[in-house]
Amino acid sequence: MSNAESLGFKVGTMSSDDDKKKRKCNLRPMSYAKLCAWIDNQSIENALKEELKRIAASYPQQALEVWPANYRKYLAKAQANLKNKRKNEVKPIVELGDEPPEEVYEDMPKDFDDF
C-alpha cells in the first residue's frame, strides 16, 4: 500500500488570503439585460439611466459583472457626459423686441396679469 507522500499529494488548509486569490465561479453571470433592469431599479433621473445603459453597452460581457461594484464611477462618468451634452446644446438667441419662446411662460401661473 502506498501512502499520500509517495504519491506526491499535499494536504493543507486554505487561509483567507488563498480564498481571495482563487477565482470565483459565477453560475449566474451578469448580462446586459440584467444590468439594464438593475439600472432601472436605481432612483435616478431617466436621462442618467439612459446614459448609464449607453455606457454599459460599450463594455464586453465579462466586464458587466463588476459594474454594480463600480456604480459610483460609472454614475459620475454619465453625469459628466450629460453635463457636456447640455453645455454644447445650441440655444436660440432672442433679440430685443422679438416674442420670447413659449417655454419662457410655462412656469408662470395661468392667472398672471401683465401690468
Q: pLDDT tens, 5-36? A: 666 666 666 666 655 566 566 677 888 999 99
| Contact predicate 39/48, CB 8 Å | no
Asked if the structure places residue 29 within a domain, the reply is no
CA–CA–CA angle 60, 55, 44 (5° rounding): 130
Q: Is residue 105 part of a domain?
A: no
pLDDT at residue 37, as a whole number: 93
pLDDT digits (tens, 9 = 90+) for 45-98: 999 999 999 999 999 988 888 888 899 999 999 999 999 988 887 766 666 666
* Residues in CB range of 82: below 8 A, 6 or more apart: 47, 48, 51
Residue 64 lies in a domain: yes
Look at residue 50 and tell me if it is in a domain.
yes
Tell me if the pTM is above 0.75.
no
| Count of domains forming the chain | 1
Expressed as residue numbers, the domain containing 78 is 46-86
Q: Does residue 71 fall inside a structural domain? A: yes
